[in-house]
Structures are given as C-alpha cells and as structure tokens.
C-alpha cells in the first residue's frame, strides 16, 4: 500500500517527464498502479484505488506538451518508511574510482496515458 506520493520535478524532454518519490508501507508490498490526470493546468498523480495523490501546477510550455502528447513519462524513486535509517558504522575505506560498485536503487520508469 502506498503511504505517500510526492512530485519532485516536472521537465520537458521529448515529452513531459515527471519525477516522483513514492513511500510504501511495507517492503514486500508491490501494489502501485499510478494514474495521471490533468484538471486545467494542475497535474494530478494518484495510485489506483487509493486516496493519496500529489498535484503540480504546470506552466504554459508544459501544458502545450501535455496536450500535444496526451502522455507523460513517470520516473519513480521508491522508499519504505522506517526501513532505511542512519548508518552508524561506516566503511573506513569507501571505494572511489572507475571500478567502484554502486548499490542498487529502487527506481522505476514508465509511460502513462494522461486523462484530461
């Protein structure tokens, strides 16, 4: 179940690109079905069947792109409340350089139809 949805940034590339942060209640919960709608110049993203929604006011260029394509690219960064705390014991020699390994990040990207 989704705890909260927050739109962090809206940009224009080839189409309208929306960056969002979604906080889930449980790490084993995979119930996220986003829906996007446009009311006037306000973009609204909501999880299907839930009341948690996030809104963002679009400017004229973003409105033109949204009306032209009638779709948007949603890039989501997931987190779980209470699962990620503050590190108390850091590695003494963090690896830097071209062969350093990066930790996996919970990210998701999809195209959504935009209902008007």
pLDDT for residue 62 is more than 80: yes
Q: Which residue has the higher pLDDT, 69 or 90?
A: 69
Contact 28, 75 (CB under 8 A): no
Round to whole Å and give the CA distance between 109 and 103: 18
**What pLDDT, on a 0 to 100 scale, did the predictor assign at position 47?**
92
Which ranges in the chain belong to alpha helices (H)?
60-69
CA separation, residue 41 to residues 52, 56, 58, 109 (Å): 20, 8, 5, 23
pLDDT for residue 3 is more than 80: yes
Name the average pLDDT for the chain. Answer: 85
pTM here is 0.79
pLDDT in tens, 11-29: 999 999 999 999 888 878 8
Q: Which residue has the higher pLDDT, 28 or 9?
A: 9
Determine the 3-state secondary structure of 115 from DSSP.
strand
Domain boundaries, the chain: 2-83+102-115
């Amino acid at each position: 179940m989704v705890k909260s949805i927050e739109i962090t940034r809206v940009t224009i590339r080839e189409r309208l690109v929306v960056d969002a942060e979604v906080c889930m209640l449980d790490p084993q919960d995979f119930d996220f079905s986003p829906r996007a709608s446009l009311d006037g110049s306000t973009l609204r993203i909501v999880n299907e069947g839930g009341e948690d929604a996030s809104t963002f006011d679009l400017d004229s260029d973003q409105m033109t792109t949204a009306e032209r394509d009638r779709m948007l690219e949603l890039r989501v960064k997931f987190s779980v409340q209470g699962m990620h705390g503050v590190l108390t014991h850091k590695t003494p020699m963090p690896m830097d350089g071209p062969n350093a390994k990066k930790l996996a990040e919970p990210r998701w990207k999809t195209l959504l139809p935009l209902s008007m």
